[in-house]
Amino acid sequence: MTTTATAAVLHEVGGDFKLQDIVLDDLQADEIRVRIEACGICHTDIGAQGLLAMPAVLGHEGAGIVEEVGIGVTNVVPGDRVIISFGFCNHCPNCFEGRPYVCDNSVQSNFGGTRLDGSNTTTLDGKAITASFFQQSSFASQVITPVRNTVKVEQDLPPELLAPLGCGIMTGAGAVMNTLKVPAGESLVVFGSGAVGLSAIMAAKIVGANPIIAVDVNEQRLALAQDLGATHVINAGKVNSVEKIMEICPRGAAFSFETSGVESALNDAIDCLGMAGQCGMVTVPNYGEKYPFTPFGIFVKAATLQGVFFGSAVPNTFLGQIIDFYQQGRFPYDKLVKTYSFKDINRAMTETKSGDVIKPVLLMD
Ligand code: CXF
Ligand code: ZN
């Protein structure tokens, strides 16, 4: 039996979202239907619009209550609370080896607009539309998602804190803990103090990185970075950040992490490294364009430039660890969150684009 839900439907790239009735398909055996309580907004909800056929339902940081389960689902039941994370196929060699964050079918799974078998979950006025964004499309009151990319939550946390764990917060923390594996006592420079960068800083404090240097152009965000664990902050709009970093780390930084997508920041994130340094990058300047930098800067230091997908996290184990750190007071990511009513999604988007809010979270009820 199909289900009617309300979704924020995007009809043109960069346009306003319109709350409309949609119809969700019947569940396949491995799927669940979730009543979304909250959904975070991530910059990929903005940056990916151009990749999708319109109309489309976005949203990929959903959390909510299981309403219905497919016939093959045994690990959750209606009434359970889940976080929905990224999509993966579960049958390619990388998934098989326990690395779903580099699933061979990641692009199709997260940006394909349909289930992995090509079928549609969602219709609007009787016509199939682009959905299954990150196998969820959680800017909606209800979604269909494969159970494998959901994490059952036992802890008593409000939905606005569960939702953003599925992408941005996990990516920042995971970049430090899983991808770069920054050891205690090593230096880390984080470029960009948004949700991903600040999560990286909190994780860096937990692992004992030192120094932890935050680079941004916004004084308020730098103050927050310091509050969350940065030992030094640098305003790249006022001083030469590489020179400053070299004063703090005369041998160059052991690790850098670029989260801003700003061209000069990526150059600086490479230039500030010492010998055999490692730079993680979670986004790119000028998506898809050739990039004007010289690989010599990497080669000459035997350095590594590492793309970071989802913080190399396996959500089913990693999200529980983050929640534990939060409950111990060691990962206070609630300081990044601002909630909006679902109907105010367009205001939330405007404040996301302007940088007024760090981690906006929509509340569906
Ligand atoms: C995405 C960014 C684009 C590549 C896949 C991972 N992260 C989430 O927003
Ligand atoms: Zn995201």
CA distances from 272 to 50, 71, 184, 190, 207 (A): 33, 53, 19, 11, 21
Q: How confident is the model at residue 333 (pLDDT cuts 50, 70, 90)?
A: very high
Contacts of 349 (CB under 8 A, 6+ apart): 17, 41, 45, 46
pLDDT exceeds cutoff 80 at 293: no
Tell me if 44 CB under 6 Å of ligand 1: yes
The verdict on whether omega for the bond into residue 159 sits within 30 degrees of 0, i.e. cis, is no
pLDDT in tens, 246-268: 999 999 999 999 999 999 999 99
- % residues pLDDT > 90 (the chain): 95
Distance 309 CA to ligand 1 centre (A): 6
The number of the ligand 1 atom at minimal distance from the alpha carbon of 110 is 5
- Give the residue, by CA position, lying nearest to ligand 1 atom 5: 309
Tell me if 169 CB under 6 Å of ligand 1: no
- Give the residue, by CA position, lying nearest to ligand 1 atom 9: 44
- Give the residue, by CA position, lying nearest to ligand 1 atom 4: 309
Query: What per-residue confidence (pLDDT) applies to 246?
Result: 98
pLDDT exceeds cutoff 90 at 351: yes
- Domain 3-166+332-363 and domain 171-308, same fold? Reply is no
CATH 3.40.50.720 fits 171-308, yes or no: yes
pLDDT in tens, 153-173: 999 999 999 999 999 999 999
pLDDT exceeds cutoff 90 at 91: yes
Q: What's the mean pLDDT in 12-27? A: 98
- Give the residue, by CA position, lying nearest to ligand 1 atom 3: 44
Q: Are the C-beta atoms of 333 and 169 separated by less than 8 Å?
A: yes
Q: How confident is the model at residue 365 (pLDDT cuts 50, 70, 90)?
A: confident
Q: What's the mean pLDDT in 335-341? A: 98
Distance 44 CA to ligand 1 centre (A): 6
CATH code for the part of the protein at 3-166+332-363:
3.90.180.10
Candidates 307, 218, 225, 231; CA nearest to 269 is 307
Distance 204 CA to ligand 2 centre (A): 20
Q: How confident is the model at residue 362 (pLDDT cuts 50, 70, 90)?
A: very high
Q: How confident is the model at residue 45 (pLDDT cuts 50, 70, 90)?
A: very high
Domain assignments of the chain as residue spans, ordered by start: 3-166+332-363, 171-308
Report the C-alpha gap between 197 and 76 in whole angstroms: 33
Tell me if 196 CB under 6 Å of ligand 1: no
Q: How confident is the model at residue 285 (pLDDT cuts 50, 70, 90)?
A: confident
